[in-house]
């Protein structure tokens, strides 16, 4: 398998690694949206978030939690956008789960996560009720 994040985890590709924990590694994004833009990845290759075990998810987001303050402090930021592009349809480019931690400051030109969609669809109450029911039924 030719996975750049697995290569980073194995030390076979260069990275600015900032954190190594139980089953988790974090390094600076090679195409940063801001200084300090960090990617947090499971050490085991896995393409999609739902394919991780609950323990792996706890390790991943535990590391995100622990990194929020150091990333913001290092970047002189006042906040952070935390996001996972889960699947190619959502814009995931590297098929190895990764959580973005992007340090943010007021007036940095970035938008909220809602801006990722570009526009908001017009949805009827009945559609929202139906989708909520489908989620409840399968969760």
The least distance separating Zn ion from the CB of residue 13, rounded to whole angstroms, comes to: 11
Q: Which residues pair with 81 in a beta bridge?
A: 102
- What are the distances in angstroms from CA 86 to CA 47, 49, 78, 92, 97? 8, 7, 26, 6, 7
CA distance 83 to 8: 20
The least distance separating Zn ion from the CB of residue 104, rounded to whole angstroms, comes to: 27
Compute how many residues bind Zn ion; rule: CB under 5 A. Answer: 5
Our finding on whether 28 is near Zn ion (CB under 5 A) is no
The least distance separating Zn ion from the CB of residue 64, rounded to whole angstroms, comes to: 18
Our finding on whether 45 is near Zn ion (CB under 5 A) is yes
Our finding on whether 104 is near Zn ion (CB under 5 A) is no
Residue with the CB atom nearest Zn ion in the bound state: 3
Our finding on whether 46 is near Zn ion (CB under 5 A) is no
Q: What own/partner pairs with CB < 8 Å and gap ≥ 24 does 105-108 have? A: 105/76, 105/77, 105/78, 105/79, 106/78, 108/34
CB of 74 or CB of 84, closer to Zn ion: 84
**Binding residues for Zn ion restricted to 4-23, rule: CB under 5 A:** 5-6
Spatial CB neighbours of 4, under 8 Å, sequence gap ≥ 6:
13, 94, 96
In the annotation, is 37 catalytic?
no
Query: Of residues 34, 40, 71, 96, which one binds Zn ion by CB under 5 A?
Result: 96
User: Is there a contact between 41 and 24 (Cβ–Cβ < 8 Å)?
Assistant: yes
Which residues contribute to the site for Zn ion (CB under 5 A)? Answer: 3, 5-6, 45, 96
């Amino acid at each position: 398998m030719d996975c750049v994040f697995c290569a980073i985890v194995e030390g076979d590709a260069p990275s600015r690694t900032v954190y190594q924990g139980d089953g988790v590694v974090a390094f600076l994004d090679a195409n940063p949206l801001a200084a300090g833009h960090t990617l947090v990845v499971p050490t085991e290759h896995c393409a999609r978030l739902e394919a991780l075990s609950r323990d792996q998810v706890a390790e991943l987001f535990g590391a995100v939690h622990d990194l929020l303050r150091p990333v913001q402090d290092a970047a002189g930021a006042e906040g952070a956008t935390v996001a996972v592009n889960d699947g190619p349809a959502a814009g995931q480019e590297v098929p190895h789960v990764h959580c973005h931690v992007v340090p943010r400051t007021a007036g940095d030109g970035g938008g909220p996560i809602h801006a990722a969609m570009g526009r908001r669809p017009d949805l009827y109450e009945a559609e929202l009720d139906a989708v909520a029911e489908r989620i409840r039924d399968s969760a």
